[in-house]
Structure 1
Amino acid sequence: MGGSLAASLMVIALAATPVTAQAIGPQAAACDRGDSAVLVHVEGLKARTGKLRVQLYEANSKTFLEKGKYVERVELPVPVAGPLNVCVAVPKPGNYALYVRHDANGSGKSDRSDGGGFSGNPQLSLTDLAFKRKPPLGKTQFAVGHSTREIRVVLNYVQGLSFKPLGA
């Protein structure tokens, strides 16, 4: 009876443990350890080509999306298969915002084949892109404590006269 009780308790303990997706990228160990980090579930990829860039910003309207003002940046080739769960280490608990860019052709330059998305998944228009309007910080910011925070980012691509997720 003691063995079956121990086995039952083990099953209950495993069921109560949150399952975190397998992290990828050069900072994956931070998410694997459950450190202060963000595990970004990137969805809606147009193609398994090019490079993916995830930039973490402090939730500050003066530095959000400003050139070189990111806190952390992770770049990696798009894997040919599997989920895109990119880990970004966070220097300290606080409020942050994310920008994800898919350089689909790997050119290193922004063009119509590229996609992008933000934490909070705010809607943007082609006009917003043309005039380099930032999404509202209030819609993109999130808090990170002393453990790994999971965030879902859906990529948007230029489709005709719109900038939206594929199939939307």
Structure 2
Amino acid sequence: MTGFLPSARLPERKSPALLPVVVTGLALAGLVAAPLAAQPFTYARTAPNDMSQCAPGKGPAVRVVVSGLKSSAGNLFVRAYPANSRDWLESKRYIMRVDVKPQAGSVTVCVPLPATGDFAIAVHHDVNGNRKSDLSDGAGMSNNPGIKKILGLVPRPPSVDKVRFNAGSGVTRMAISMQYM
């Protein structure tokens, strides 16, 4: 008895020159199949608050409910950053910014993302509308970490490890609570 499967003969290997071609092809296929999150991003992009981008079946995107807004004054900036310490909260190193008019209480924002992967969200309520960070402004971040204060005055942002989240191919939902001085 020879076993359960019929015996098969493998073809003779007559061309060893094909091996480097096959290996090179497999290596290139691996590079092409690299995850999008590992590829470089275009920085400082802006998008409108288009909630259709956060509809079922869409993405990658983040649907953010920002709560605890003190007033409807000023501007609200929602920024998505790559989740690394090199880019986190650095000027013009966000990959997407959505600007909306704040509403006292809460507002919902859709942030489209360029790919799946690890990101961090920062929300800035520029209360007086001067496009600068002031002591009257509010802030919030993904995962809602506490914002530490140095000597009780100047807020110290959390590390990117505390605000990192993974966005899949669909719509990631999150709630961010604003914090004010």
TM-score by length of 1: 0.71
Q: Whole-Å Cα distance in 2 between the matches of residues 30 and 59 of structure 1?
A: 22
Q: Secondary structure at the match of 1:126?
A: strand
Q: Whole-Å Cα distance in 2 between the matches of residues 50 and 134 of structure 1?
A: 22
1:1-168 equivalence runs, <5 A = 25-33=48-56, 34-79=58-103, 83-127=106-150, 130=154, 133-158=156-181
Task: Render the CA deviation track for 1:66-108: whole Å, top value 9, x for unaligned.
Answer: 111101011122247x841100001000000000000112222
Q: Which residue identity does 2:67 align to in structure 1?
A: E
In structure 2, list runs of 5 or more residues that go unmatched: 1-47
Match of 1:8 in 2: none
In structure 1, list runs of 5 or more residues that go unmatched: 1-24, 159-168
Shift of 1:138: 1.9
Question: Aligned pair in 2 of structure 1 residues 102, 67: CA closer, same or farther (>3 Å)?
Answer: same
Q: Whole-Å Cα distance in 2 between the matches of residues 108 and 61 of structure 1?
A: 23
TM-score by length of 2: 0.67
Shift of 1:137: 1.7
**Percent identity of equivalent pairs:** 37
